[in-house]
Structure 1
Amino acid sequence: MRRLPHPPRCRSLTTGTTRAVHLPLLTIITFLPLVGALALLAIRGEAAFVERTARTVALGVSLLVLLLAAILWIRFVPGQAGFQFEDRTDWMPGFGISYHLGLDGISLLFVVLTAAITPLSILASGRVGITRLRDYLVAILALETTLLGLFSALDFVVFYVFYEATLIPGSLLIGIWGGPKRVYASIKFFLFTFGGSLFMLLALLAMWHITGTTDIPTLLHTHFAPAIQAWMFLGLVLAFGVKLPLFPLHGWLPDAYTEAPSAATAMLSGVLAKAGAYGFLRFVISMLPDASHRYAPFMIALGIIAVIYAAIVALAQADMKRLIAYSSFSHMGLVLVGLFTLNATGIDGAVFVMLSHGIIIAGLFFIVAILAGRTDSRMVQGFGGVAGRMPVLATLAMLFTMANIGLPGTGSFVGELLVMIGAIHVGFWVALFSGMAMILGAVYMLVLYRRVMFDTAIGGASGLVGVLRDLSPREIALLAPLAFVVLWMGIYPSSFTRVFDPSVGALVSGPIQAAQVSANAASPG
């Protein structure tokens, strides 16, 4: 095991007359939603006033966070080595633990994704009859803070704290404001995620015991012995595999996504699930390259199983929301395949799929929420002929459906194509079975779209479709930005890839390449 020198500390606030004061912008962005949540709790008055004010304050805070995240994106320098916008303060210096935040090209876009989905989730929450709306919005803003902190953490302990903290608002959103089986789904979500996190804690302690620090940049430059890497790999795979989710650790997902309010599901599926994939990339592949190279075939196999299994199960679902939940599971299997191709193209594709999937899946869940809000039902058999009564919704639903199956011109196509190109370097059969995500996805999504939008409704005009009206201006404002981003990512993908590709390239040309060289040298002949 070799350990490189600790990187120089970059503090947010500097002293002295010759250095300018650096505004801790990343810290402000991370904790601003939490400040907004506390402000909501301070609102007093009549119930109608409290709800109206809480909705306005929550939306305003989330839009301000989005604006600041956009500033980060504009100011980010893609070709600059290392992390940017770093904020660092000693926390427990005697144990090598510090409050350390920073962004590279990968984490930056996940911060932007979180900041973009949150105000839309708040906007969607305003149109449904959610009881105790202020408390609900407090949970949404608290979840945003934990996600922003998770993606920007540069200390493993800080990452672990934020990672665990997502359990609190996530469980509350499911358990208090969810469907009939909300308590069961909430407990299941909590136990699965908390149980997996204990294995992450063991890996964290092992890294700290060996290096004396939990600073992520230092850990990234530390080479752990292959035998130690194998055990750390197992612990981190169990931890991040639950949240991804990794087959067969997905048991919590269908119930949690189905029972949670649709606006909260957009946060859980669109952003929280990406925390697992981000953990694989930031910790497993980057810090444990030897173990990742050794067990990559096994991880790819699990990803392919998830792609095919989830797609088949999705086709059998009668609940629209549950079908989309399994669709999300299938796409996360494709992400896993891309990550463990361990080449730049495959990893680029996995990151792109994560970003595009976060936008697409949010749009699909919002559409289901709109239909369920008008009819009080999510069952496919109760719908039919919706396109005749809701042409605007049918048009947007077609766009999100086509994007979900990887139609050229949408963001999902770019990501899936890159994953398949990366997979072909691993093997023909890997690329072929990975491509099943597009084929099977087309089957269940087009069947869903046809049955809901064009088939004859059960019950005729007196059925559920008889009460439908097309999208309101508020609902168009909710879905239109997502539709725009889906097309933007498909037509001009380089505006995204140029941000994270240098970070992925540095990873592949560094620890991954070294692990491959070491494995080739150790193999007989």
Structure 2
Amino acid sequence: MGEIPYRTAVPFPLLGVLVALPLLLSVVLRNMRDSRRVYALGLTGGAIELALTALLLARFERGTSDLQFVERVPLFGGLAYHVGVDGVSVLFLPLTALLTLLVTLYAQEVAKERPARYLSAIFALEAVLMGAFVSLDLLLFWVFSSLELLPGFWLVRDWGTGPGRVAAARRYAALNMMGVLLLLAGALVIGRSASAPPFTLTSLLAADVPPKAQALAFWLMMLGFAVRIPLFPFHGWLPKVLEEGPVVGVSVFLVGAKLGAYGILRFVIPVLPEAAHHYSGTIAIFGVVGIVYGGLLALVQTNLRRLVAFACLAHMGSVLVGLSSLNFEGLTGALLVTLNVGLSAAGLYFVAGFLHRRLGSTEVDRPTHYAPILSLTFLLVGLSTIGMPGTSGFEAEHLVVVGALGAHRSAMAVAVGAGSLLGAAYLLRYFQRAFLAAAAGAPAPSRPRLPDLRVREIIIAGAVAAVIVGLGLFSHPLLDVVGGSLRAMSEEVETPRAPARVGSRNEAR
């Protein structure tokens, strides 16, 4: 894995700017008083950030596994500012920037209380997510991952819509802090067991970790990331937080930027490939249980926010099945499912926000009556989550199934397919009961009407829908972006190096 400095593509440290700009916006916005200027600056800064991620994609070299736009500055101890992107990470940056811009636009539409502090927290969350996605140093990634808890806690506690928002915020912070500590413990096990404490990605890939230490580090890091994603059975904080927290805000980022799934693909599988092989069957079983458990719970939900929470649990089970396949198709499918869940689940939470604004609830017992654009938005975004052809979810789900079959796990492939059927059941069931029940048997002119989407809401819905359909119809450019890195990773980890036990990297070679 080579490193390409940022100067070969752009004349300034682009990744550093992507982290610093939202952080600067967070500081400036917090002390502003005029709400008009707050929103104007927030929208301008969000648009600039999105444009910079578009520049990043335009200058990104496809078909290679090299780390690109690399910046490296030694800090202190074993910590270094070492950032860069490759096919594994680059698409998370425009996704995060797009969601931030749309959340800012939504906040202006609903006139959020204390907009300066709200947007300050939103941009602080964007800054730490950007930092985590570009980090090539495991300790730096851990720092950004830990800092994510602070703005998340503030958003749930101060802008939540439920009476239990304070308790939900504390549960979110406590359980995710446990995940952060487990991740740190796993990193320290790797550093202590190697000849030197290597925490940059290139050093980690070259580290010779003894068998017992490799197994211990694998489970510590997997459990840490499982809490953050979350995966079954570490999901207890997510439904409560998404139900009690802001309808749109931190919920969009929690389901939209799957930092835990990214961390597994970035630091666990390539760094500990023998352990990944040794325990891949166990990981796949956890994934299948999550698919079934999350899908069945989503099927009985009457609240859209809880439904999406359990749907995310089911889809992250599919991600786990793809990751456990350890082949190119499975790893690619897992990455694309993570990105699609980030986009489509965030879209469903925007729909939940639209409903909550009109009805004061997202419960199914309060149907939206006749709102064609809102209904169509829910249907399109919902279809993408179940992998309907022509949407961004189709290629992702298809590759996970192909990867499971390639790993000779037919039962796992069937489980992923069953998860899609369950997804169709709970999403179409909610659509029928919430959007069509009041209109059944009534001619269109006599149906009870509800205010449909306004201009800003149409912009938000249109942006999400355009990306979903665009990626569904033109998926090959997406595969070109991620293909080089994931193919190189799969070639490293697909062939078992120590089938009888978890072996060291040198022993396996």
- What TM-score range do you get, normalising by the shorter chain? over 0.9
Instruction: List aligned pairs for 1:73-472, cutoff 5 A.
Output: 73-92=57-76, 95-179=77-161, 180-209=163-192, 210=194, 211-272=196-257, 274-383=258-367, 386=369, 389-426=370-407, 427-456=409-438, 468-472=450-454
- Indicate conservation of the 8 Å contact 1:348/1:415, yes or no: yes
Task: Look up the match of 1:3.
Answer: none
Shift of 1:521: 9.8
- Cα distance in 2, alignment partners of residues 522 and 12 from structure 1: 37
Task: Look up the match of 1:41.
Answer: 30
Which segments of 5 or more consecutive residues in structure 2 lack a partner in the other structure?
504-509
- Cα distance in 2, alignment partners of residues 9 and 413 from structure 1: 33
- Indicate conservation of the 8 Å contact 1:91/1:99, yes or no: yes
Q: Among 454, 459, 466, which residue is 1:484 paired with?
A: 466
Which segments of 5 or more consecutive residues in structure 1 lack a partner in the other structure?
1-6, 14-18, 45-49
- Indicate conservation of the 8 Å contact 1:63/1:119, yes or no: yes
Q: Among 49, 68, 72, which residue is 1:65 paired with?
A: 49
Shift of 1:89: 0.8
Task: Look up the match of 1:29.
Answer: 18
Corresponding position: 1:519 with 2:508: no
**C-alpha distance after superposition, 1:288-317 (max 9, x if no partner):** 111111111111111111111111111111
Shift of 1:132: 1.1
Shift of 1:128: 2.1
Shift of 1:476: 0.6
TM-score, normalised relative to structure 1 = 0.90
Shift of 1:11: 6.6
- Cα distance in 1, alignment partners of residues 318 and 172 from structure 2: 22
- Indicate conservation of the 8 Å contact 1:404/1:412, yes or no: yes
- Indicate conservation of the 8 Å contact 1:345/1:418, yes or no: yes
For 2:471, the aligned partner's letter is M
For 2:286, the aligned partner's letter is L
Shift of 1:226: 2.0
- Cα distance in 2, alignment partners of residues 142 and 410 from structure 1: 31
- Structure with bigger RCO (C-alpha 8 Å, 6+ apart): 2
- Indicate conservation of the 8 Å contact 2:5/2:68, yes or no: no
- Indicate conservation of the 8 Å contact 1:10/1:87, yes or no: no
Aligned length: 495
- Cα distance in 1, alignment partners of residues 461 and 315 from structure 2: 21
- Cα distance in 2, alignment partners of residues 82 and 403 from structure 1: 31
For 1:381, the aligned partner's letter is D
Q: Among 29, 34, 39, which residue is 1:55 paired with?
A: 39
Shift of 1:439: 0.6
Shift of 1:330: 0.9
For 1:207, the aligned partner's letter is I
Q: Among 476, 479, 484, which residue is 1:494 paired with?
A: 476
Shift of 1:489: 1.3
- Indicate conservation of the 8 Å contact 2:214/2:502, yes or no: no
Shift of 1:508: 1.0
Report the identity percentage.
34
TM-score, normalised relative to structure 2 = 0.93
Shift of 1:127: 2.1
- Indicate conservation of the 8 Å contact 1:197/1:239, yes or no: yes
- Cα distance in 2, alignment partners of residues 144 and 447 from structure 1: 34
**C-alpha distance after superposition, 1:35-67 (max 9, x if no partner):** 0111112324xxxxx222111111111110110
Give the SS at the match of 1:287: coil
- Cα distance in 2, alignment partners of residues 65 and 228 from structure 1: 41
Give the SS at the match of 1:100: strand
Task: Look up the match of 2:485.
Answer: 503
For 1:184, the aligned partner's letter is A
